[in-house]
Structure 1
Amino acid sequence: MDGRQDVMVMPQPPANPIVQLQARFRDLEVGFRSWLAKQPLAVEAAFVTATGAFQGAAIGGLMGTLTSDMASTFPSPPPQATGLSPQAMASLKQAQAFSGGPLIQARNFAVMTGVNAGISCVMKRIRGVEDVQSSMVAAFGSGAMFSLVSGLGGPNQAANAVTSGLFFALVQGGLFKLGQKFSQPPADDIYYSQARRMLTSLGLQNYEKNFKKGLLTDQTLPLLTDSALRDVKIPPGPRLLILDHIQRDPELKRGR
């Protein structure tokens, strides 16, 4: 006997193929975005604009298909109908802008989303940050272009474009702030980021709440023992996997 006690390590359960596929797609997306960010601004902006326009065209085409029956509800006025007031004409054009067929809506939404994506890309590259100001500038541009291509509003296209742009910008600014408020993780989550990654890689993410309940933060990972994991009610199998992972991780092993 050499005084060492052999510990039987249970084999890890097979990884979920869906989780693996999602992780691979995320890695590919991150790698492609990293490559695209290194390209000239014109190349990145053109690609992002084209991608945004394609997505918008798909959404607009679908909406146009679902609302195609509305187009007949708002027919174009006959040429002899010159007695319509400017307000009535403006209302009719607004209705037609949102009730066109698939091709019309695909065009409108392609312009709107493409311009938004392109301006956002340029603003982020120039300013180095994606914030509410950049988001509102992009929304203003997309709203103005949407107004111009769709004929939204009355005969004064310039004023209508500015009005639509301001409306889009205000809505986007409010949504951006609202998204920031609800997307921020709890303040204490920053202390468990490394533990969360470890548990996810082992397929044990359900035990994250046990780590938080026992205050087993990232700083405690190199110090974890079987007794500490048992105290937070983690079963024997997952305990062995966690301890084996820590033992094999060079960074965590150095912290012991």
Structure 2
Amino acid sequence: MGEGKQGAAMVVAEMPKGLIAQLQNPNPIAHFKVKYKQLEDGFRVWLAKQSLPVEAAVVTATSAVQGAAIGAFMGTLTNDVSSSFAPPPNAAVNPEAMASLKQAQALGGGPFVQARNFAVMTGVNAGISCVLKRIRGKEDVQSSMVAAFGSGAMFSVVSGMGGPNLAANALTSGVFFALVQGGIFQIGQKFSKPPADDLFYEKTRSMLSNLGLQNYEKNFKRGLLTDNTLPLLNDSALRDVKIPPGPRLLILDHIQREHDLKGARRGSG
């Protein structure tokens, strides 16, 4: 019992005074961020263990809910301008005029209309992306464009923009969404590439950013702890590059969670 207290006292003694004060009076925002990250990691581990249909259904549903919330908010900003679009006199006998009216209403609808439209777009996109990632084992521009095509086609159907030529307009919308998404993906890939000397620390940087420990990236570089060494990290290695006990625990816990997640994916495959 005495040895345990002595060991705990030694760990506390090693901590900087600022870290001790932070632990005694934790920042509620930082505490919430850590808890949320732990909950997110746990959910990802659970989801990776599920079958493909279950994972796709959960991802589609959660993304649709998020999209609906965004759409409802945007719909409140438009103040339902669709109500100001009155049917033209010959709408009943002019399918093209009615189709144009439907398009205007779909793009300028109120909260409920936009919530439905965004829920379909984001849900279908996320669901298709999830299936393709599980099957292909990667995310690339082809998968992104296929998912965008599906979301664009479904948006055309549910929003009423299809008009009399439903299939043709759904195809056109899908192709348009796919081209736009493909261009955005390529631009994002181009501008998100880090400098050449940082290529060995991409995963490390992402990990530290997720944990709110960006300030310790220089410690990893100083000790040449590259992405390839992440699975090999232990308390001693982190101590050698002068990372304090608190951050060391968060880093090692994150690495263990990632290891468990990969194991769950292999087991489900």
What TM-score does the superposition give when structure 2 sets the normalisation length? 0.67
Identity percentage over the alignment?
65
| In 1: Cα distance, 2:207 partner to 2:69 partner | 39
1:1-60 CA-to-partner distances (Å, cap 9, x unmatched) read xxxxxxx96734134623343233223212211220110111111111110111111111
CA–CA distance in 2 between the matches of 1:201 and 1:150?
A: 37
Corresponding residue to 1:155 among 164, 183, 186: 164
Q: Is the 8 A contact 1:193 1:218 kept in 2?
A: no
Corresponding letter in the other structure for 1:13: G
Judge conservation of contact 2:153–2:173 (CA < 8 Å) in 1.
yes
Pick aligned residue for 1:216 from 216, 222, 243: 222
- Could you tell which deviates more after superposition, 60-69 or 188-197? 188-197
Q: Return the alpha-carbon distance in structure 2 between the equivalents of residues 144 and 174 of structure 1.
A: 18
Give the gaps of 5 or more residues in structure 2. 1-12, 227-238, 249-269
In structure 1, distance between residues paired with 2:174 and 2:204: 45
Distance 1:179 1:197, change over 3 A: closer
Matched, 1:183 2:192: yes
Q: Which residue of 1 aligns with 2:55?
A: 44
Query: Given that residues 191 and 218 in structure 1 are in contact (C-alpha distance below 8 angstroms), is that contact kept between their aligned partners in structure 2?
Result: no
Which secondary structure does the structure 2 equivalent of 1:218 belong to? coil
Distance 2:156 2:54 in 1: 27
User: Are the structure 2 counterparts of residues 72 and 43 from structure 1 closer, same or farther at C-alpha, using a change threshold of 3 Å?
Assistant: same
Q: How does 1:189-204 map to 2 (within 5 A)?
A: 189-191=198-200
- Residue in 1 that maps onto 2:112: 103
Contact 1:9/1:244, CA 8 A, preserved across alignment: no
* Residues 63/136 of structure 1: CA separation in 2 closer, same or farther (3 Å cut): same
The Cα of 1:167 is off from its aligned counterpart by: 0.4
The answer to whether the aligner puts 1:123 opposite 2:132 as a matched pair is: yes
Q: Which amino acid aligns with 2:78?
A: T
- In structure 2, the residue corresponding to 1:72 is in which secondary structure? helix
Residue 16 (structure 2) aligned to one of 8, 11, 15: 11
- 3-state SS, counterpart of residue 104 of structure 1: helix
* Matches of 2:211 and 2:118, distance apart in 1: 43
> Secondary structure in 2 aligned to 1:152?
coil
Gaps of 5+ in 1: 1-7, 221-239, 250-256
Is the radius of gyration larger for structure 1 or structure 2? 1
Q: 1:56 aligns with which of 55, 62, 67?
A: 67
Measured after TM superposition, the shift of residue 196 of structure 1 is 6.5
Larger displacement relative to structure 2 (9-18 or 46-55): 9-18
TM-score by length of 1: 0.70
Q: Distance in 2 between matches of 1:23 and 1:163?
A: 44
The C-alpha deviation readout for 1:67-120, integer Å capped at 9, x for no partner, is 134113212346x6446472x333222111111222122112111111111111
Report Cα offsets for 1:129-185 as digits up to 9, x if no partner: 111111111110110000001111431000000000000011111111112222232
Tell me by how many angstroms 1:63 deviates: 1.7
2:86 to 39, 52, 75: 75
More helix by share: 2
Count of aligned positions? 216
Preserved CA contact (<8 Å) 1:90 1:153:
yes
